[in-house]
């Protein structure tokens, strides 16, 4: 193969990879399009719930069970969040990998820096 063609193909592949890994910013309504990707979801927190096991759930885009996205704070990390109720009614930006849980987009939050009040 011609070295110039090889170099051009290699650079195009690297550029495509860099663009594909750029973090996404979206609303809760758009989050399902980005499952499997690292993203920042910005929307209003319509409900906050702490389970008996200590897990915290922030519901974005609707109250449970009609939320569009859940920011899930595992019990092991919940102690780092001094007052998770502070997020209720506020617009927040939650960053992390979007996965599916019970058929709905979810971001697992293990560090306070992943949630910013807007």
Domain limits, the chain: 23-117
Regions in the chain scoring below 50 on pLDDT: none
Distance separating alpha carbons of residues 72 and 86, to the nearest angstrom:
15
The C-alpha atoms of residue 92 and residue 43 are separated, in whole angstroms, by 6
pLDDT of residue 109: 98
User: Residue 81 has what pLDDT?
Assistant: 96
DSSP secondary structure, the chain, as one string: --HHHHHHHHHHHHHHHHHHTSPEEE-GGGGGGGTTSEEEEEEEEEEEEE-TTS-EEEEESSSTTS-SEEEEE-HHHHTT-S-GGGGTTSEEEEEEEEEEETTEEEEE--SGGGEEE-
Residue 9: predicted pLDDT: 60
pLDDT for residue 40: 98
- Backbone φ and ψ for 31, nearest 5 degrees, come out as -60, -35
pLDDT score for 42: 98
Top CATH class of 23-117 equals mainly beta
Distance of CA 45 to the CA centre of its chain: 13
């Amino acid at each position: 193969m011609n070295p110039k063609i090889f170099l051009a193909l290699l650079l195009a592949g690297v550029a495509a990879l860099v663009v594909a890994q750029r973090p996404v910013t979206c609303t809760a309504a758009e989050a399902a399009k980005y499952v499997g990707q690292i993203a920042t979801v910005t929307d209003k927190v319509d409900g906050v719930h702490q389970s008996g096991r200590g897990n915290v759930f922030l519901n974005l885009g609707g109250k449970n069970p009609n939320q569009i996205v859940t920011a899930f704070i595992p019990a092991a990390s919940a102690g780092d969040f001094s007052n998770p109720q502070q997020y209720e009614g506020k617009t927040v930006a939650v960053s992390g990998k979007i996965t599916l849980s019970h058929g709905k987009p979810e971001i697992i939050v293990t560090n306070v820096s992943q949630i910013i009040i807007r």
